[in-house]
Amino acid sequence: MAPARRRPGPQGQWRRPAAAPALKMASMSITREQVAHLATLSRLALSAEELDRFAGQLDVIIAAVARVQEVAADGIPPTTHAVPLTNVFREDVIVPPLGADAALDQAPAAERGRFRVPRILAED
């Protein structure tokens, strides 16, 4: 017989250990204007509604991740890769390249054997 199931309580009943928003970082909170700037940098044409929603959510997330600043890490070297490797070489073997047809096969638009793209310079 299947064990009885009941809904777990709301999320709030469990502590949120590592992620508990550190509200003392409030001075670092992010504004809607900053989020709009990030969207531009990120090449995301967001709607006004999205900007409102993301501003609130990113504010909470940034406050939570700012906890890394509590750690005493003076003089600790950064880790960029889990298993460090340097100067990785392989034999320089000639292999057939991807042909033009295969490369263009999934292009949103192609013309005369090339990718066709929208204009990249301003009109004036």
List the interface residues with another protein, window 57-96 (CB under 8 A). 57-58, 60-62, 64-71, 73, 76-83, 85, 88, 90-91
CA 8 vs CA 13, 20, 101, 121: distances in Å: 9, 20, 54, 56
Q: Cβ of residue 12: shortest distance to another protein, in angstroms?
A: 9
10 Å CB burial of residue 35 (0-12, 13-18, 19+) is buried
Taking the complex as a whole, the smallest distance from the CB of residue 26 to another protein amounts, in Å, to 15
Q: Kindly state whether residue 48 participates in binding another protein, applying the rule CB under 8 A.
A: no
Contact pick of 108, 112, 113, 124 for another protein (by CB under 8 A): 108
Residue 32 sits in the site that holds another protein (CB under 8 A):
no
Question: How far is C-alpha 52 from the geometric centre of its chain's CA atoms?
Answer: 19
